[in-house]
Structure 1
Amino acid sequence: MPQSHPASVSSRRILVAVVPPVLAAAAVLATFLSVRDRLPDRMAVHIGGGGHADGFSGQGSFLATALGVLVGDGVLFGALASWIRTNPGVQRVIAVIGGAVAVLTGWLIVAVLLANTDVADASSVTLPGVRAALAFAAAALYAAVGWLVCGKAEEAETVSGPSAGAGRLPLGDFETAGWTRVTGSRVLPVTGALVAATGIVVGFTTGWLPALPLLITGVPMALLTGARVTADRRGITVTPSLAPWPRLNVPLERIAEAGHRTVNPVRDFGGWGYRARPGASGIVLRSGDAISARLTTGSEFVVTVDDAATAAALLNTLADRERRTAAGG
């Protein structure tokens, strides 16, 4: 069978992310126009844990918010899927998530509109749990179908490895040295705050159950403002700036060679934070210079930090010494 051209596969993934928000927005608008004369002026827009309305909004503001969320979903995930097309595995995940979120959101918005139809008092509106369950089921079904439509990443995701020389620092046999820097992220705190704020909005308008993943993701992300990176006889150690845990360590015996290279978080790893993809993993908090360690397993470990060349040179010297010691030299 003929294989799909990578460009056509990439375009399919972008469509998987963009088409559902467009169709969901059209369905919401069509539903609203068809029942507008049967909706109360003061609509119930949030159904509490007991299945009864406890949040209200005008028709116009509800429609504007709903369409804005769906259009924003399409723009955000469509742009990400387009920008990250050089990383097919991550592009596939982003496309499926964006489409599934749009299906879930659109389904719930239509369900809220129908629940408000022909209701004299908005406070009496209820939304049975089965309708929410159907929304999640529809999103899961779309995610499964979208995953298949996106296709496999035919082009293997390879590890680029260090792009700059694997130098050494001159150290005597009995000398020791350490290197440490603090690296930070401007994107993570802002993104985390936006995700957490979105979770609060979803909680008040849709329900706290669908908002929980956003809050669980957003709050820690907002607090992850930086990390301390250390290169010494223990290898590479990365610790959050504001807390002693969680700490990540790559020991010297696992490092075959260290260098440094430029890393783009989105294009290379699909985002910020602790990232992993086939053949590579690491702590990616910003764009720019990064320690790039080729491990004995053949994979790559990266940490974005300033002065990465010095850290890499020290790691190479210490790793060489470690190997000589282990060999009895």
Structure 2
Amino acid sequence: MHPPSSAERAFRRRFLLLTGVWAVLVTAALAVPPLVLRDRLPDPVAMHWGLSGRPDRAYPYPVLFVFPLVWAVVSGGILAAAARGRAPLRRFRRVWLTAGLAWNAAWLLGTEVLVIGANLGRAAWTDAAPMTWQVVAMLAVSAAVGGLGWLAGWPGPDVRPAAAPPPPAMALAPRERPVWVSTVSARWLLALSLVLFAAALSLALAALLGRPGPLWGPAALLAIVAVAGLTLSSVAVRVTRDGLTIAFGPLRWPVRRVPLHRIERAWTDERSPAEVGGWGYRGLPGSATIMLRGGECLVIRYTTGGELAISVDDAATGAALLNAYVSAARPSGG
């Protein structure tokens, strides 16, 4: 990758300055109201509302300073990531940084406003105003602000690393039909999925035993999320004379097959979850990434122009073998 130009260095300085100013302003916005309104708030203050909308849990007044503390930790981590290397110069990394700063600020500010507003002028925390639709509205506003943060990070340079040249096709002896296999797994996602499964089973059992409350709906939702997590917790990739095969999950099902005639070429690329929008299956059919860990990816280009990237180890060998089979399958024989 070429050294940053003077314009790129100037953009990086402006980006870090503006995000730093944003972090300071939000910190002040979170820290000042609890101080200014101290005499108009009960102690303890209501901090949790039940499904009925009434307050059901309170904490001592200093708990309100958790909001600026959380923001300091979150924004500090985001700014540290922004200050490291060339993150502000890569668009996909930059938009995730700005979206994270925007969404977290909106969520923390919105939550603090709701909590202080419900407690303001009340003699005791039990008198706090009810809260129902306000939470939904706050979450919607936070999501919208996060989207604006994403858009705010879009303008500017997009300095990409120099693309690695496609690996040469592997030399195959006559009648030789080697097979390449690589697997990758996300243990944290597997563990989380198992926890969700356990929670779903617990709720289902409670429903069967006649416990009160709507339990079947949450149990079904948790089970669906757990199945999706298990499916994307591991991937096995195979290259054979028939093309590319991708098997998902511990049971190696479902299976996706890409025949040779649909593949134009293969190569490797370094990608991170921030660049593709997170972990799991990202994107749309025809232009997607299966991301279970950042780093080396096997990338194929379809004959129709789309791309598929899969984060697997030893991707260069798989790409070279796939290129060999693609080359041998062409009518010209090369």
Match of 1:253 among 258, 261, 269: 261
User: For the residues of structure 2 that align with 1:217 and 1:87, how far apart are their CA atoms?
Assistant: 35
Note the alpha carbon deviations across 1:272-313, whole angstroms, 9 max, x for none.
433459x97422333444323344345553323223233222
Note the alpha carbon deviations across 1:133-159, whole angstroms, 9 max, x for none.
553464356446545543435548688
Query: 8 Å contact 1:115–1:126 — kept in the other structure?
Result: yes
Aligned to 2:79: 78
Which amino acid letter does the alignment assign opposite residue 274 of structure 1? Y
Aligned to 1:45: 47
Aligned to 1:320: 327
Aligned to 2:170: 168
User: For the residues of structure 1 that align with 2:172 and 2:126, how far apart are their CA atoms?
Assistant: 76
Match of 2:316 among 302, 309, 315: 309
TM-score by length of structure 2 reads 0.70
DSSP 3-state at the match of 1:40: coil
User: For the residues of structure 2 that align with 1:17 and 1:127, how far apart are their CA atoms?
Assistant: 35
Q: List gaps (5 residues or longer) in structure 2.
A: 1-5, 197-221
Q: 1:225 to 1:172 in 2, by over 3 A?
A: same
User: For the residues of structure 2 that align with 1:7 and 1:151, how far apart are their CA atoms?
Assistant: 17
How many residues are matched?
298
User: For the residues of structure 2 that align with 1:288 and 1:37, how far apart are their CA atoms?
Assistant: 53
Which has the larger displacement, 19-28 or 134-143? 134-143
Query: 8 Å contact 1:17–1:99 — kept in the other structure?
Result: no
Give the root-mean-square deviation of aligned CA atoms. 4.0
1:292 and 2:299 matched: yes
Q: List gaps (5 residues or longer) in structure 1.
A: 197-214
Q: Which has the higher contact order (CA 8 A, sep 6+)?
A: 1
Aligned residue runs from structure 1 range 89-100, under 5 A? 89-100=92-103
Aligned residue runs from structure 1 range 74-223, under 5 A? 74-83=75-84, 84-129=87-132, 131-132=134-135, 135-136=138-139, 138-139=141-142, 142-143=145-146, 145-147=148-150, 149-155=152-158, 160=163, 162-163=164-165, 165-173=167-175, 176-185=177-186
Percent pairwise identity: 28
Note the alpha carbon deviations across 1:38-88, whole angstroms, 9 max, x for none.
33332211122322112322222x234322321233123333444533421
Q: 1:141 to 1:298 in 2, by over 3 A?
A: closer
User: For the residues of structure 2 that align with 1:256 and 1:267, how far apart are their CA atoms?
Assistant: 27
Q: 1:137 to 1:232 in 2, by over 3 A?
A: same
Which amino acid letter does the alignment assign opposite residue 292 of structure 1? V
Aligned residue runs from structure 1 range 23-34, under 5 A? 23-34=25-36
